[in-house]
Structure 1
Amino acid sequence: MAARFIVEADGGSRGNPGPAGYGAVVRDGDTGQLVAEAAEFIGHATNNVAEYRGLIAGLKAARELDPDASVDVRMDSKLVVEQMSGRWRIKHPDMQPLAAEARTLFPRGRVSYTWIPRERNKDADRLANEAMDAGQAGRQWEPKASEAGAEPPLKTPPPKTTTPKAGWAAPADLGTPTTFDLLRHGETPLTPEKRFSGSGGTDPELSDKGRWQAERAAEALAARGSVQAVVASPMVRTRQTAETVAARLGLEVHYEDGLREVDFGDWEGLTFAEVRQRYPEDLSAWLGSAKAKPTGSGESFTTLTHRVGAARDRITARYPGQTVLVVSHVSPIKTLVRLALGAPPDSMYRMELSAASICAVQYYADGNASLRLLNDTSHLR
């Protein structure tokens, strides 16, 4: 069953037109819990443009969590609500393309629009003002540190502008992109047997072949000479892989818990055939929906997307314009590739990702991402 989200969005301009920014939050439609937030300083713009940009950011955040969701948009902008509901015409040329973009994010009929008074839109309004404050201080908005033990809400990339997409031509004013060289860990004893090995299992070490693969990856990455930082999942196999490469590069390894593998629950250590025999209904549900969890204490791909997206945002904020080696696992790396492409969740089942393979994704300042490399194993031949 698809999710139901509430999107609250707002935008503001100090001067109208003047320095402008937007804010948006996504809530679980059943519990009201905050699941994502976004904000951006957008330069010189009007209130209405900023409000539309906030709407687009909120819808994109919801789509990233579940592209099959239904969404209730709540805004204190009577103009945006009435125009997007189809009751008022959109005459201004600055708002026509923004409204058109907003309509492409979810099919007609899955998004409803409701006007709310400003006092009920405080979170989005606060984020918009934080974005404007940051922009006037010469920096971009960044999410505040989460409370201890809590996953921070996912900060989605800002909506794409009319500048050319990174895959065609990256405009000079976007600056140097942040590059993730995504390295899957080397083999463990479970890898060649194709057994589920997530964050809820035995946390195996690298095998002899896995250590050899890590050394070959280290040689290849050292030859490139571009890596400036190393960030890894804290699991044993990724730690061992990352430490091998980092030693060759003369860099320190920083650990990011959001990069750990998904928890496969009761499927840990089993082959696909064994899971199909023991838990056929759970497996079918898991293959059919990103919201389904493996049997027991397993973690859904929707939850993984939230966790990995938040880790991505923390890393890009920490290393802007740098090349970062990200050492992780099959599911998190496939998730990062999927999000970069804007592909649906089931695309993960159509990707091959070999042990110790390298992928590369670049992230630009306008929110665009560009997949540069996928499943490169040339260093292992």
Structure 2
Amino acid sequence: MSRRLTVEADGGSRGNPGVAGYGALVRDTETGALLAERAEPLGKASNNVAEYRGLIAGLEAAHAIDPSADVLVRMDSKLVVEQMSGRWKIKHEDMRRLALEARELANALRDGGGSVRYQWIPRAENKDADALSNDGMDGLTVRRDHDGGAVEEPAGDVVTDDAAACAPVPRRPGTPVRVVLVAGASGSAATSAAAAVQRLLGGAPRCLLTDPSDDAVETAAEVGDVLGVGSVVDAAWAGSDVAEAWGKVVARGGTTVVVCAPDTVRAVLGHVLGMPSDRLGRIAVAAGSLAGIEVWSDDDVSVAFTNRT
């Protein structure tokens, strides 16, 4: 009797196309035991390409575990599930190439006596693969194989260490550090800012920082709710030396969202652009607006946008 495996896969792109990565994992279907985890950055790519790459990585891992397995693929990408199930046509050349690669892996499992079927699931049920895909978008490569010990349900509430999400991320050539500055707001402006961050990033950043002011904390809470991440209060972003706070974020790497006062947003933009302090008032920063900065190297910084809502 063939072993039953479940593949959970996801992919994301911050910008679509933008900085992309995929994540995938394999579980024993009957016991829920985690058997393999995969994640990888993809450079600049679309969401669909990243999702297909996640599928391919998951099928490869399942085949390595048991080339005769009965595999259930669970993804929140309706496009990939319908195309791989043969119900939707594949028009884009990149998608056709990736779908062919995935089908070859599925056929290898079938040739070994196994099977592959696809199931669409809501995004909320694909959080583990989504977290791995965010590792990939942050520049991390993950290749973990597990011994298959049974996975036990945790007792009581699960407490997460949000500060751990802001641990350093390895820098990779060709992948910039990305920082999204959000000007703190209140009420509907904070809600609108959160929606703008979600549209911009697509996938959640691993690190969400906020200064301790009321507007910033409220906005960060809204952002955290839509992205599914917790915020970390950092008083340095309310201080007079924003250069130090900025330097720490750049040194961390990856993608970081920082919620702070509008004047702090101006100060950071002035710092990276080398503007004198008496001209910072010329930079328009509305409450709840976004500014994006990319750092390719210490002397190669680009302001991607300002005052976006």
Give the TM-score of the pair, scaled to structure 2.
0.44
Which has the larger strand fraction?
2
Give the TM-score of the pair, scaled to structure 1.
0.36
